[in-house]
Amino acid sequence: MSRDLKNAQRWVIKIGSSLLTNNGQGLDLPAIEAWVKQLLVLRRHGLEIVLVSSGAVAAGMERLGWTSRPSALHQLQAAASVGQAALIQVYNEFLRRGGVHGSQVLLTHEDLQERHRYLNARATLRTVLELGVIPIINENDAIASTEIRFGDNDTLAAMVANLLEADLLVILTDQAGLYDQDPRKAPDARLLTEVEAGDPALLSMAGGSGSAVGTGGMSTKVHAASRAAQSGAATIIAPGGAEDVLLRIWAGEPLGTYFRPGVAKLAARKRWLAGQLRPNGVLHLDAGAAKVLREKGSSLLPVGITAAEGDFQRGDLLCCVDPEGQEIARGLVNFAYEDVLLRKGKSSKTLLELFGDIDEVEIIHRDNLVLSN
C-alpha cells in the first residue's frame, strides 16, 4: 500500500518521552540528532514543520541526578522547568547546524480553549512558520498541575494540528503502530496499516501504555487521531526508532498505522468551526444577504450587513443573524469590529473608492462560513 502525502505541506510531529530519554535515563542525543536531520530535509523541501516534544521531566530528572520519577507535584514541576531548558538547548544546537532556527512555545490546554489565547497562539505560530523557523512545543508543565498529572502530548499535538489546520499529524512512539489486539499478550496480533479516525472499535484495540516513562498510551494516540480529524488532518502513528522514519513516511512508505480523516478537509474544518469555537460577536444581516447565505452559502459581503455587536478581532468566530434575529450562519471574520463598522452596508465599488486596491472584500469568506441547522 502506498500513501500519497505530496499535498501534505504542514506537518505536526510529536515525539514521545520513551524515544527521547533512553528509557528515562537522560536525553538520547544521537536519536534527537537523527530526527532533527530528517526535519531539516523536510524543511528544505518546502514543508512546514511543527514539533511537539515530550521529555522535559525526564531530562530534568537526569540533570538533577534523580533516578526515579517523583510523585510530589512541586518536584515534577521543578524537574520540568530544568528539563525544558535542556531540551530546547539540544534541539536548537542541532537545528543551527542545518541553518534553521528553532523557537520554544510552551502551552497548556487552556491556551487552546480560551478564545483570546487561542488566537494569540495561532498568530504566533503562523508567524514563526512564515519566518522559516521550526517551533518546538511542549506543555507548560512547570506551572500547569493538571497537565503533569493527567495530560499528555498526544492530545496537545492534535490540538495544535487543529489550531494550525495541519495536513498531517505524525505521532512517533516506541510501538510499531496500532494492532488489532495487544501484541504483548497476543502473539498473533496484527498491525493495522490503515483505519478511519473516529472508528469506535479502535479504542478497544488500543490497550494501555507501552512505557513507564511517558503518560500517553496507545489509547491517547487513537483519541488524538480522532481529534485531529475534526479539522481534516490525517494521522500516522509510527515507530520512532525506525531508521529515517520521517523521510520514509514522506516518501509514502506504509510505516505504522495511517488514520484517514474520513471527510474532506474543508468539510471537517467547517464542522469544527460549528462545534468547537465560541462566538465572540454578532453580525446583523438584511433580508437579501440572509437569503443568499441560506440558499448558496456564499461569502458574506459588507453590503448586506446592517449592524455589528461585540468587541471582536480579526479571526474571531461570529454569528450571523437575519432581520428577525434568527442565527443562520457563523464564521471567522476578516476584520475587527471597528473595521466592520466602516464597511457595513457599503458596496464593493464604494469600498474601492474609499480604501483603494484591497486584498479582502469579504467580511467572512465562504471557506470560513458554516450554515446553522
Domains (ranges, CATH) in the chain? 10-269 (3.40.1160.10), 278-371 (2.30.130.10)
| Average pLDDT for 177-199 | 88
pTM attached to this predicted model: 0.76
pLDDT-based confidence at 150, cuts 50/70/90? very low
- CA atoms of 219 and 199, how far apart (whole Å): 12
HEC letters along 155-214? HHHHHHHHHHCCCEEEEEECCCCCECCCCCCCCCCCECCEEECCCCHHHHHHCCCCCCCC
Single-letter amino acid, residue 141: D
**Do 20 and 88 form a contact (C-beta atoms < 8 A)?**
no
- CA atoms of 199 and 206, how far apart (whole Å): 12
* Number of residues written out for the chain: 373
H helices of the chain, in order, are 17-20, 29-44, 56-64, 73-97, 115-130, 145-150, 153-164, 201-206, 218-229, 245-250, 265-276, 287-296, 337-343, 348-355
| Average pLDDT for 316-340 | 93
Whether the pLDDT of residue 209 is over 60: the answer is no
pLDDT-based confidence at 292, cuts 50/70/90? very high
Query: pLDDT of 105-122, one tens digit each?
Result: 998 877 776 667 877 888
* 102-116, 140-154, 158-172: least confidently modelled range: 140-154
Whether the pLDDT of residue 164 is over 80: the answer is yes
Four-point Cα dihedral 238, 173, 54, 247, nearest 10:
-30
Angle at 199 between CA 9 and CA 263, to 5 degrees: 40
- CA atoms of 235 and 259, how far apart (whole Å): 5
pLDDT at res. 167: 94
pLDDT at res. 283: 97
Q: By C-alpha distance, which of 172, 150, 206, 149 is closest to 17?
A: 172
Burial class (CB in 10 A: 0-12, 13-18, 19+), 173: buried
C-alpha cell at 97: 547546524
Q: How many CB atoms lie within 10 A of CB 368?
A: 20
pLDDT at res. 148: 40
Annotated binding site: 14, 54, 141, 153, 173-174, 215-221
Return the higher-pLDDT residue of 213 and 75: 75
| Average pLDDT for 13-42 | 90
- Grouping H, G, I as helix, E, B as strand and the rest as coil, residue 313 is coil
Whether the pLDDT of residue 212 is over 70: the answer is no
pLDDT-based confidence at 266, cuts 50/70/90? low
Instruction: Give 191's contacts (C-beta < 8 A, 6+ positions apart).
Output: 176, 177, 178, 179, 257
Annotated binding site for substrate: 54, 141, 153
pLDDT at res. 180: 87
Query: 144 in the Ramachandran plot: left (φ > 0), alpha (ψ -120 to 50) or beta?
Result: beta
Instruction: Give 290's contacts (C-beta < 8 A, 6+ positions apart).
Output: 304, 320, 322, 323, 328
Annotated binding site for ATP: 14, 173-174, 215-221
What's the first-to-final CA gap in the chain, in angstroms? 39
pLDDT-based confidence at 3, cuts 50/70/90? confident
| Average pLDDT for 323-351 | 92
Average pLDDT, the chain: 87
Q: Which of 38-52, 270-284, 308-322 has the highest mean pLDDT?
A: 38-52
Whether the pLDDT of residue 363 is over 80: the answer is yes
b/e string for 47-65 if b means 16 or more Cβ within 10 A? bbbbbbbbbbbbbbbbeee
| Average pLDDT for 173-192 | 88
